[in-house]
Amino acid sequence: MTTNQGVPVADNQHSLKAGLRGPALLKDFILREKLTHFDHERIPERIVHARGSAAHGYFECYGPQTELTSAAPFREAGKITPVFVRFSTVAGERGSKDTARDVRGFAVKFYTDEGNWDLVGNNMPVFFIQDAMKFPDLVHAVKPEPHHQMPQAASAHDTFWDFVSLMPESTHMLMWLMSDRAIPRSYRMMEGFGVHTFRFVNARHESLFAKFHWKPLQGTHALVWDEAVKISGCDPDFHRRDLWEAIESGAFPEWELGVQVFTEAEAEQFSFDVLDPTKLIPEELVPVTPLGRMVLNRNPDNFFAETEQVAFCTAHVIPGIDFSNDPLLAGRIHSYVDTQLTRLGGPNFHEIPINAPIAPVHNNQRDGLHRQAIHRGRVSYEPNSLGGGCPFQAGAAGYVSFPEPVQQDEVRGKPEKFAEHYNQAAMFYNSQSPVEKAHIAAAFRFELSKLTVPAIRRRVVSMLRNVSDDLAAQVAEGLGMPMPDPMPRALSEAPKPEVDKSAPLSMFARPGVTGPASRKVAIFVGDGVDGNLVAKAGDALSKVGAVGRLVGPRVGLFTAKDGSQIEADASFENEPSVLFDGVIIPDGEGTAKAWTRDGRAAEFVKDQFRHLKTILAIGDSVTFVEGAGILRDEADPGLLLLSEPKADAFSLFIKALARHRHFERETDPPRV
């Protein structure tokens, strides 16, 4: 052990004192260095997206896309570009819970051989506002209210709904936020979107518009709200842990990157404006072209050095990628560097290892706080002759902005199509399955029930009347209020949308291909349990890549029916039901009796049932499950109550587990 000056430390346990019981001495440079450094360990957290988790990986190109773009990652089949990806919630502080109802950030840094490209997106393809001018207001409204700093990591409060109900352009995004997209099961099970329209530019400087999509191989899956609330208490790190454990265990999460490409002329024909970030382009209108796949295969070595210090920025583009005139994007191009100057303490944060490009850096920028590079020689200007003219400009081989003609009056305002706010909100709602629609209504009911100002509730429901009277009526009923009149529309005649319903907008459109792999299953254990069944259950799960954990009334050793010892990994107390995707309750007379007397065991299976998970109970355990109020229902494929240990018990369980949840079972209010 040494000091920061490299001096060996003899004793790291005791400060220097004048005698064993005497006063500590100011000249103790070792103590002072240690405390001073510690005092400065925290840096400001991100103003938004403070809570996040990240991983390393790579992007692999499917094939050359040089007709579309000269961007380095898309030049040839099999080309590998390293990436670092940070997922986040938006509103909560750095230590807040993972499972809040919120948008999730999906930020990807591509370390390409022509510099870093950051695709700083979200798990929703649209945004709340159309202009960066409104961003500080939006964030002030959603953050904890300034007089008492409540609530943390939640949009269910007056100021958020006050703002958005006065901002009809947020209607479409509110539909996404109230949908199950806002409570993902895992970061691995979310889509990602670049949101804005970007430009692809090819080597001939021809440009097409581009919208980016990340599609998860794991499928898009969500929590249910009651589960999300309970997870916040028992594991606020739920998503962080899930990502970490999946990567550690080799279940590397994977996404396909695709792009919607279209011409400016096509864009002009659309009923909406492609520069408006509150609108998406239905895949029926412009299909998604797959470009390659991204695999996350390495956890960071140090959270602070990598996940915390990483600095994403929409201005980080490479040759082949350019901006559109989306006014929200314009503000972002400024905002990210600006915030990082403060957050990372100066202009040299590009030298922090996680931010440093793998492409070499040569320029005449010098000095500044925390400069790491040691520039040699006397030349730091261009043009020069003393340095042999170096570094040279790259000319046409460098970044050349797309020469978009600009010939208009300077104005503050927006194009007419931006003023249509409800077509796509309605398209989103109409594209949802009945289950998803019910969850949207329940989410509005919950969020609005938390408001203290009835006028704000009325305003939101009046907004919803422009989306769906059916939805508005359900929300009004849930709040015990009469239906208000619809909110007046800005446009008397809305353009007719090309698409009323778009199948990919439902989460059910993408169940994924990895099935039960990486899903967590509790296997109940206790004294007298059938050890043979416990072992078989564990084997069956690991064969399909699912994770079985032995859960008992306490951790530690239990004696199975045949006298062998079984060690529980977790207890009903320290890993309750919400942390598992399914439960297997093996046979065992004594065990079933003990579980019947244990309220925590009953609560465990009730929550499994309520949260629509797969339950397998065998033999005596069936009595325990039924005693908890869960009645046999042959039509429920996720409720396997077997009086005998049938040979196909575990394969039936795994098949049911792969369905993620059994929504047929759901009632509002819940039955148990």
Which is nearer to ligand HDD, 65 or 335 (by Cβ)?
Answer: 335
Question: CA 524, CA 504: separation in Å to the nearest integer?
Answer: 38
User: Is position 592 an interface residue for ligand HDD (rule: CB under 6 A)?
Assistant: no
Q: Is 89 in the site for ligand HDD (CB under 6 A)?
A: no
Contact 641, 652 (CB under 8 A): no
278 near ligand HDD, rule: CB under 6 A: no
Q: Which window, 240-248, 326-334, 552-560, 646-654, contacts ligand HDD (CB under 6 A)?
A: 326-334
**Residue 122 a catalytic site member:** yes
Stretch 190-229: interaction string toward ligand HDD, x if CB under 6 A: -----xx---------------------------------
Rounded to whole angstroms, the Cα distance separating 253 from 188 reads: 6
Tell me the number of residues near ligand HDD by CB under 6 A. 27
- 3-class DSSP state of 585: strand
What residues does 567 pair with on adjacent strands?
557
User: Residue 383: is the preceding peptide bond cis (ω within 30°)?
Assistant: yes
Cis check for the bond before 669: say yes or no (omega within 30 of 0).
yes
Query: Which one of 290, 331, 387, 637 is in contact with ligand HDD (CB under 6 A)?
Result: 331
Cβ closest to ligand HDD, residue 247 vs residue 654: 247
Stretch that binds ligand HDD, among 42-50, 179-187, 298-306, 413-421 (CB under 6 A): 42-50
Q: Using CA atoms, how far apart are residues 285 and 466, in angstroms rounded to an integer?
A: 23
Note whether 305 binds ligand HDD by CB under 6 A: no
| Candidate residues 30, 61, 100, 132; the one interacting with ligand HDD per rule CB under 6 A | 132
Exposure b/e, 43-64, CB count within 10 A at least 16 = b: eeebebbbbbbbbbbbbbbbee
- The residue whose Cβ lies closest to ligand HDD is 105
Sorted by sequence, the CB contacts under 8 Å of residue 46 that are 6+ apart come out as 52, 88, 94, 339, 343
Yes or no: say if 624 and 599 are a contact pair by the CB < 8 Å rule: no
120 closest CA partner among 109, 131, 136: 109
Stretch that binds ligand HDD, among 31-39, 46-54, 496-504, 547-555 (CB under 6 A): 46-54
Give me the catalytic one of 49, 56, 172, 611: 49
Distance CA 567, CA 546 (A): 19
In whole angstroms, the minimum distance from the beta carbon of 259 to ligand HDD comes to 16
Q: CB of 584: closest distance to ligand HDD in angstroms? A: 38
The CA distances from residue 139 to 194, 334, 548, in Å, are 20, 17, 41
* Binding track, positions 91-130, relative to ligand HDD; x by CB under 6 A: --------------x-x------------xxx----x---
Specify the residue, 71 or 124, whose C-beta has the smaller distance to ligand HDD.
124
Q: Residue 470 contacts by C-beta under 8 Å, 6 or more apart in sequence?
A: none
Q: Please select the residue that binds ligand HDD; options are 161, 272, 312, 323, rule is CB under 6 A.
A: 312
- Residue 251 beta carbon to ligand HDD: minimum distance, rounded to whole angstroms: 23
Is residue 179 a contact point for ligand HDD (CB under 6 A)?
A: no
Q: How far apart are CA 100 and CA 102, in angstroms?
A: 6
The residue range among 328-336, 513-521, 540-548, 558-566 that interacts with ligand HDD, by the rule CB under 6 A, is 328-336
Using the minimum distance from each CB to ligand HDD, give the nearer residue, 105 or 253: 105
Query: Catalytic one among 56, 116, 122, 123?
Result: 122
**Contacts of 597 by beta carbon, 8 Å cutoff, 6+ apart:** none
Q: From the CB of 661, what's the least distance to ligand HDD, in Å?
A: 27
232 touching ligand HDD, by CB under 6 A: no
At its nearest, how many Å lie between ligand HDD and the CB of residue 331? 4
Q: What is the DSSP string of 379-445?
A: --SSS-STTTTPSPP-GGGS-------------S---GGGG--SHHHHHHHHTS-HHHHHHHHHHHH
Q: Token digits for 491?
A: 């446009």
The one among 142, 288, 328, 551 contacting ligand HDD by CB under 6 A: 328
Centre a 10 Å sphere on the Cβ of residue 555 and count the other Cβ atoms it contains: 16
Query: Which segments of 91-204 are extended strands (E)?
Result: 104-112, 115-122, 192-193, 198-201
The single residue among 51, 56, 79, 86 that binds ligand HDD, judged by CB under 6 A, is 86
* Burial classification of residue 531, based on how many CB atoms lie within 10 Å of its CB (0-12 exposed, 13-18 middle, 19 or more buried): buried
Taking CB under 6 A as the rule, does residue 277 contact ligand HDD?
yes
Residues serving a catalytic function are 49, 122
Q: Interface residues with ligand HDD (CB under 6 A)?
A: 46-49, 52, 86, 88, 105, 107, 120-122, 127, 132, 135, 195-196, 277, 310, 312, 328, 331-332, 335-336, 339-340
